Amino acid sequence: MKMKTTTNICKKIRNRLYNAISKHIGPDADWVQNHIAVCPRCQQRVASLGRVHLAISFIKSQPHSLDLLMRANTQAVTVLKHSLRDTPEAQKLKKELPEQNLFEKCAKYKSPVANAAACIAIVCLMKIGIFSSMQRFQTQSKQAVRSYYAANAGQDIADEIFTT
């Protein structure tokens, strides 16, 4: 119990130190914000950083093809100096594809599995007797309507309507 309390105290102290330091020398510090407001070069860098964050969040939010890693690696290798571009590791990196997780591998079977599950559910419902209960309900409803017609319009009219 004492160890857990000590760990919590240490964590609180680290958080307070981080917050205090960030307020004085971090990007949200007043003097940093004041400098960015008057320095065109820093404004350009902050804007570029914002565009990078926006692009990364856009990439994360959009589905992408499996060759995205390969294309990104190819672009990264072209930035390297010539002696590094031709190494076997760089060539291997250009052809690297990500590994699909189990969900992605099975995604193409989603529709057939759903159809099979629906068929199994229908068979189970039939076995349980849901459909026979519906038939019994329909028969009882028909008898109730027939007796209504017999009582209000006469038995011969009710027989004529319900014998067809």
Both tokens assigned to 31: 């003097």
Q: What pTM does this model have?
A: 0.30
Domains in the chain, number: 3
- Answer whether residue 104 is part of any domain: no
Looking at the structure, tell me whether residues 93 and 124 fall in a common domain.
no
Closest of 59, 149, 128, 6 to residue 120, by C-alpha: 128
Q: What 3-state DSSP class applies to 19?
A: helix
Taking only the tens place, the pLDDT of each residue in 28-65 is 788 888 888 899 998 888 888 888 788 777 766 666 66
- Answer whether residue 131 is part of any domain: yes
Looking at the structure, tell me whether residues 74 and 29 fall in a common domain.
no
Looking at the structure, tell me whether residues 130 and 81 fall in a common domain.
no
> Backbone dihedral region of 154: left (phi > 0), alpha (psi from -120 to 50 degrees) or beta?
left
CA–CA dist 152, 14 (Å, integer)? 87
Looking at the structure, tell me whether residues 21 and 57 fall in a common domain.
yes
Looking at the structure, tell me whether residues 121 and 85 fall in a common domain.
no
DSSP state of 118: H
With beta carbons less than 8 A apart as the criterion, state whether 157 and 149 touch.
yes
Domain that holds residue 17: 1-62
Taking only the tens place, the pLDDT of each residue in 115-148 is 888 889 888 877 777 666 777 888 888 888 888 8
